[in-house]
Homo-oligomer: A and B are copies of this chain.
Amino acid sequence: MSVSGRIEKALEAAFTRVGTSDSPPRLAAGMRHAVFPGGARIRPRLTLAVAAACGEDEPALVDFAGAAIELMHCASLVHDDLPCFDDADLRRGRPSVHKCFDERTAVLAGDALIVLAFQILALGSTQPQRLGALVTILARAVGGPAGIVAGQAWECEDAPDVGLYHRQKTGALFAGASMIGAAACGAQHDAWRQLGETLGEAYQAADDIGDAESSVEALGKPVGRDLAFGRPSIVAQFGLAGALQRFDRLVEEAIASIPSCPGVNDLQTLIITESRRLLPKQHWQRAA
């Protein structure tokens, strides 16, 4: 099965195996709306790529680990889009959850997706001795001290720490996606943090570039919002050319950081190919 196929199947299985028979219908629909159809699924793709490089022995567990990361990403989008944050009407070219349903359903759907992410780690755990690492990695990637929730919370501070803001808002879940791929294989996972963090920075750079120059139609979400909200952006900091240079350097650093593993060559190739697709189309030629 293709990587995309594995990820979609695991996300579907998360819903069907946990069940929805007693669920309030709006909540169940709001949760699915947040997850399907998805975006590029770039974080779980990283999880599966790292697991493949580590020589995965439990593909079902890897798939649920990737799905858990994606569910957390979807939950964060639902809450980030709320009226009290971005007040975004559009997400992935469709109405955001609070626009399609209501604000209360959006708050609860986000909550329930966070819970579901942890639940499927336990559900997929054919290797009980790996579960502790999986839960810990996921929690650190998302939680209050230094995960994506903390990253978003810097937007509530009068004097945000810009470095921590970027590392936490984007880097933390990429680091988690990378590390959980190794942990799902029983491999030492700390060595994989750097790859995820660096790819997270590259992704953020690409996102800032996209936000600064793309159109609503191409992104499927409102653009120019970083500048409108006075958020730290590397385009504002270094200009467009500087941001593109920085993106290239980060991809090189990511590749150099890959720990010794059976599938190192394939993973290097994959990162080059996939990173190119992060940029707006007009820059693909240059990145190639």
- Does A107 touch B at the CB level, under 8 Å? yes
**How many copies, total?**
2
Interface residues of A, dominant DSSP: helix
- Does A28 touch B at the CB level, under 8 Å? yes
Measured CB to CB, the closest approach of chain B to A228, in angstroms, equals: 16
What 1/0 flags go to A124-150 for Cβ under 8 Å of B? Answer: 010011011001101110111111011
Measured CB to CB, the closest approach of chain B to A106, in angstroms, equals: 9
Q: Can you name the residue of chain B whose Cβ is closest to the Cβ of A134?
A: B122
- Does A170 touch B at the CB level, under 8 Å? no
Measured CB to CB, the closest approach of chain B to A149, in angstroms, equals: 5
**For A110, what are the chain B residues with a Cβ–Cβ distance below 8 Å?**
111
Q: Can you name the residue of chain B whose Cβ is closest to the Cβ of A75?
A: B111
- Does A4 touch B at the CB level, under 8 Å? no
Asked if B111 and A136 sit within 8 Å, CB to CB, the answer is no
Contact of A145 among B19, B128, B129, B145 (CB under 8 A): B19
What 1/0 flags go to A103-130 for Cβ under 8 Å of B? Answer: 1110111111111101101110100110
Q: How many residues of A contact B (CB 8 A)?
A: 65
A binding-site residues for B, Cβ under 8 Å:
18-28, 31, 75, 79, 82, 84-85, 101-105, 107-116, 118-119, 121-123, 125, 128-129, 131-132, 135-136, 138-140, 142-147, 149-150, 152-157, 160-161, 164, 168
**Other A-B pairs, 20, CB within 8 Å; known A23-B145, A75-B111, A118-B135:** A22-B168, A24-B150, A24-B153, A27-B153, A79-B111, A85-B107, A102-B156, A108-B152, A108-B153, A112-B147, A112-B150, A114-B114, A115-B142, A115-B147, A116-B143, A116-B144, A118-B139, A128-B132, A131-B131, A131-B135
